[in-house]
Amino acid sequence: MKTDDFDFYLPEELIAQTPLKKRDASKFLVLDKETGEIEHRHFTDIIDYLVPGDVLVLNDTKVIPARLYGIKEETNAFIEVLMLKDTGNDVWQVLCKPAKRVKVGTVISFGEGKLKAECTEVKEDGIRYLKLIYDGILMEILDELGEMPLPPYIHEKLEEKDRYQTVYAKNRGSAAAPTAGLHFTKELLERIQEKGIIVTTVTLHVGLGTFRPVNVEDVKSHKMHSEFYHMSKETADILNQAKKEHRRIISVGTTSVRTLETVISLYGTFKECSGNTEIFIYPGYEFKAIDALVTNFHLPKSTLVMLVSALAGKDKIMQAYAEAVKHKYRFFSFGDSMFIK
């Protein structure tokens, strides 16, 4: 299976640069994974495709202001840092630019020394491990010094920071938003629950694993970076009951999929647990946890296109993406939505 098999034509003007004024006003492509039938709707119509007893699983991670700009203390060289994952004891996995300037022992200063970071380990592809040095509460310092880490294909300034957060974001730790959830409003979620759909949450802190491009020719040679996940007992009980009663489990976003499939692959059931996942889902994978998926439109040749192709079949996904391009759907983080049922 070649990475190029997951390439497709995407005009640059379809890459959404800003969010719509109304979260739930986006277009909504509905794909039947069995028949390949496609419908064009609007996101608020999602309620028509949900039935009482369905379980909707949201990722409640919250994006932190993870992009920092600092200077290397020895030379005053400019360094950009994207904080990816808290590994404990104030040591963070980060992505540095330019990485060649950051070696073991390098000290980077942010905000005139309000936050400092010493490099403790050097990895490939710009990855470094930094020991953070500061007084006070780290998240408050990041709120002051950091910026929202918008993806590199977004060139417009984000006017409202909360538009890169879901309305249910709670657990801080992500370097990117679980973008499938950006379409939901509190009012829409209330209407969904009033219809008898059960809404529950998992946490996966989105790091490099989700959005790093695939740079190998053979899909199976790609290695995912690990990301932290957590499932509560309450969520595990809801999901196990749904499985027992043959009710649908509908994942909101690929990050929720990766959490659910990781847990059930490890334990054969859902249970309260935390850990780090490197799960890579591509065609040939047999889904054990989910029945349907709400997702955005993803980058060509990305692990996310591979994941949705595993669920619906590559040919059906490529056909749906061609339809989306034809109907001028907006792509990527601030783009339109898709339901694979």
Rounded distance between C-alpha atoms, residue 293 and residue 178, angstroms: 13
Q: Are strands 115-122 and 127-134 parallel, antiparallel or unpaired?
A: antiparallel
282: which residues sit within 8 A by CB, 6+ positions away?
A: 1, 219, 220, 303, 306, 307, 309, 310
Give the per-residue pLDDT at 209. Answer: 63
Rounded distance between C-alpha atoms, residue 280 and residue 192, angstroms: 31
Give the per-residue pLDDT at 194. Answer: 98
Reading the block at residue 201, the tokens are: 């949450």
Identity of the amino acid at 70: G
* Torsion angle defined by CA atoms of residues 83, 84, 86 and 91, in that order, rounded to the nearest 10 degrees: -50
Give the per-residue pLDDT at 213. Answer: 74
Rounded distance between C-alpha atoms, residue 336 and residue 6, angstroms: 20
> How confident is the prediction along the chain (341 residues), in pLDDT tens digits per residue?
999 999 999 999 999 999 999 999 999 999 999 999 999 999 999 999 999 999 999 999 999 999 999 999 989 999 999 999 899 999 999 999 999 999 999 999 999 999 999 999 999 889 999 999 999 999 999 999 999 888 888 888 888 888 999 999 999 999 999 999 999 999 999 999 999 999 999 999 998 766 677 889 999 999 888 899 999 999 999 999 999 999 999 999 999 999 999 999 999 999 999 999 999 999 999 999 999 999 999 999 999 999 999 999 999 999 999 999 999 999 999 999 999 99
Q: What is the Cα gyration radius of the chain? A: 20
- At 144 the three-state DSSP class reads helix
Q: What is the 3-state secondary structure (H, E, C) of 275-325?
A: EEECCCCCCCCCCCCCCEEEEECCCCCCHHHHHHHHHHCHHHHHHHHHHHH
Helix (H) or strand (E) holding 28: strand 27-31
The pLDDT tens digits of the residues spanning 268-302 come to 999 999 999 999 999 999 999 999 999 999 999 99
71-80, long-range: CB within 8 Å, 24+ apart, which pairs?
A: 71/108, 71/109, 72/101, 72/102, 72/106, 72/107, 72/108, 73/107, 73/108, 73/109, 73/116, 74/106, 74/107, 75/101, 77/101, 79/108
Give the per-residue pLDDT at 339. Answer: 98
- At 4 the three-state DSSP class reads helix
Reading the block at residue 253, the tokens are: 């976003």
Identity of the amino acid at 76: N
Does residue 52 have a cis peptide bond before it, meaning omega lies within 30 degrees of 0? Answer: no
The pLDDT tens digits of the residues spanning 10-34 come to 999 999 999 999 999 999 999 999 9
Reading the block at residue 65, the tokens are: 């202001």
Give the per-residue pLDDT at 133. Answer: 97
Our CA angle for 193, 197, 199, nearest 5°, is 75
Helices (H), the chain: 138-145, 186-194, 208-211, 233-244, 254-267, 303-312, 314-326
